[in-house]
């Protein structure tokens, strides 16, 4: 192995933990994945130590060659302290993750919200590698967002900036969000919201392909709803048009506010539905200021599931 430093990037998700050893060019040398323990943060930290040991063994890298460990966590993080205030996905509250992992490994640690680490990954090695300002939207079960200006994540005073998922789209008439408030973007345009509307439509008198899809699989997925829309099923089209309309409005508001060079859209929902993304773009163009809309590029993410571990590595390279 060379004398250049290596970085460990770790992406803790509600389902799986991904860990990678990354070199100074931003290339993944080795990566590993394991199911996330739901017992608690101590158990997860033990898993992280195991993953780091295995990565080192696989890659024949010694501890001194590892400059640091970057960790992305879903939820509310204070990045300066590496402190997890709350992670609903993991069931964590008040976890001093940076201190704990530093104690266990003796290696410097940096912790960040996972939507922000995905944005940094795309900035370094993905769809944003030719710009300094971007917004990364992750469309999955929820709607995540990382805002990068001048190659720096916009954190806000406590680290919680960029919560586009809780931008109010239907504040008076909307349904209640997981955050407790009404009408958030997550309730109109997330994967969960699209499936919720699909399940509601099964109760309608109308004929729809969604009923066949549900009868065949006993469930309904975002992909099945997109597939039905592609076949011009009017019920499915209405569901995704409504969801896309609000996402386009949210992106237009965001673009008008911060005027980024690019909006990078990733996540499973975006990957599954070009038809959805086309409708989002149409809505965005309707509401963004012309001068902003003409110059912005809205592009798909390029790194898929690797964005988080690469972004975590970038943080180690840049900040530790």
What CA–CA distances, in Å, run from 150 to 260, 261, 306?
Answer: 10, 11, 22
Token reading at 100: 């704990």
Task: Provide the minimum distance between the beta carbon of 137 and Zn ion in the complex, in angstroms, as a whole number.
Answer: 15
User: For the chain, where are the E strands, in sequence order?
Assistant: 6-12, 16-22, 28-35, 66-73, 76-78, 83-87, 92-95, 109-113, 134-139, 143-149, 152-153, 262-266, 297-300
In the bound state with Zn ion, the residue whose beta carbon lies nearer, of 192 and 271, is: 192
Of residues 157-216, those binding Zn ion (CB under 5 A): 166, 177, 179, 184
In the bound state with Zn ion, the residue whose beta carbon lies nearer, of 101 and 169, is: 169
CB proximity list for 196: less than 8 A, separation 6 or greater: none
CB proximity list for 186: less than 8 A, separation 6 or greater: 142, 143, 165, 166, 177, 178, 192, 193
Q: Tell me how far apart the alpha carbons of residues 9 and 17 are, in angstroms, rounded to a whole number.
A: 11
Q: Cβ of 278: how many Cβ atoms within 10 Å? A: 11
Task: Provide the minimum distance between the beta carbon of 192 and Zn ion in the complex, in angstroms, as a whole number.
Answer: 12
In the bound state with Zn ion, the residue whose beta carbon lies nearer, of 116 and 189, is: 189
Task: Provide the minimum distance between the beta carbon of 2 and Zn ion in the complex, in angstroms, as a whole number.
Answer: 46
Number of residues in contact with Zn ion under rule CB under 5 A: 4
In the bound state with Zn ion, the residue whose beta carbon lies nearer, of 5 and 88, is: 88
What does the per-residue mask of binding to Zn ion show for 99-138, with x meaning CB under 5 A? ----------------------------------------
In the bound state with Zn ion, the residue whose beta carbon lies nearer, of 184 and 244, is: 184
In the bound state with Zn ion, the residue whose beta carbon lies nearer, of 70 and 75, is: 75
Q: Tell me how far apart the alpha carbons of residues 310 and 21 are, in angstroms, rounded to a whole number.
A: 9
In the bound state with Zn ion, the residue whose beta carbon lies nearer, of 189 and 224, is: 189
Q: Tell me how far apart the alpha carbons of residues 276 and 269 are, in angstroms, rounded to a whole number.
A: 9
Task: Provide the minimum distance between the beta carbon of 144 and Zn ion in the complex, in angstroms, as a whole number.
Answer: 13
Token reading at 216: 């065949």
What CA–CA distances, in Å, run from 25 to 5, 86, 96, 258, 313?
Answer: 10, 33, 30, 30, 10
Task: Provide the minimum distance between the beta carbon of 166 and Zn ion in the complex, in angstroms, as a whole number.
Answer: 4
Strand 66-73 and strand 109-113: the pairing is parallel
3-state SS string for 277-288: HHHHHHHHHHHC
In the bound state with Zn ion, the residue whose beta carbon lies nearer, of 49 and 179, is: 179
Task: Provide the minimum distance between the beta carbon of 77 and Zn ion in the complex, in angstroms, as a whole number.
Answer: 18
Does 289 engage in binding with Zn ion (CB under 5 A)? no
Task: Provide the minimum distance between the beta carbon of 163 and Zn ion in the complex, in angstroms, as a whole number.
Answer: 8
Task: Provide the minimum distance between the beta carbon of 243 and Zn ion in the complex, in angstroms, as a whole number.
Answer: 15
Q: Tell me how far apart the alpha carbons of residues 117 and 22 are, in angstroms, rounded to a whole number.
A: 14
List residues near Zn ion by CB under 5 A. 166, 177, 179, 184
């Amino acid at each position: 192995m060379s004398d250049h430093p290596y970085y460990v990037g770790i992406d803790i998700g509600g389902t799986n933990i991904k860990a990678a050893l990354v070199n100074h060019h931003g290339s993944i040398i080795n990566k590993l994945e394991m199911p996330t323990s739901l017992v608690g943060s101590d158990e997860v930290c033990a898993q992280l130590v195991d993953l780091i040991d295995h990565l080192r063994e696989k890659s024949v890298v010694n501890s001194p060659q590892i400059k640091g460990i970057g960790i992305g966590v879903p939820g509310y993080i204070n990045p300066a302290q590496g402190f997890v205030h709350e992670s609903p996905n993991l069931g964590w509250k008040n976890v001093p993750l940076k201190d704990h992992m530093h104690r266990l490994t003796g290696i410097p640690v940096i912790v960040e919200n996972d939507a922000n680490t995905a944005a940094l990954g795309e900035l370094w090695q993905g769809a944003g590698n030719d710009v300094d300002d971007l917004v990364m939207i992750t469309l999955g079960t929820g709607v995540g967002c990382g805002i990068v200006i001048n190659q720096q994540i916009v954190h806000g005073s406590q680290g919680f900036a960029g919560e586009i998922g809780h931008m109010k789209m239907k504040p008076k008439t909307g349904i209640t969000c997981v955050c407790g408030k009404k009408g958030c973007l997550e309730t109109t345009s997330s994967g969960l919201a699209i499936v919720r509307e699909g399940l509601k439509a099964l109760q309608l008198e109308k004929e729809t392909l969604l009923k066949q899809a549900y009868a065949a699989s006993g469930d309904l997925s975002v992909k099945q709803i997109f597939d039905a829309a592609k076949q011009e099923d009017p019920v499915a089209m209405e569901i995704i048009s409504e969801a896309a309309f609000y996402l386009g409005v949210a992106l237009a508001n965001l673009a008008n506010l911060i005027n980024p060079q690019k909006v990078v859209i990733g996540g499973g929902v975006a990957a599954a539905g070009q038809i959805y993304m086309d409708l989002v773009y149409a809505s965005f163009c309707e509401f963004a200021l012309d001068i902003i809309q003409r110059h912005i590029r809205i592009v798909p993410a390029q790194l898929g599931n690797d964005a988080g571990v690469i972004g975590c590595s970038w943080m180690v390279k840049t900040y530790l």
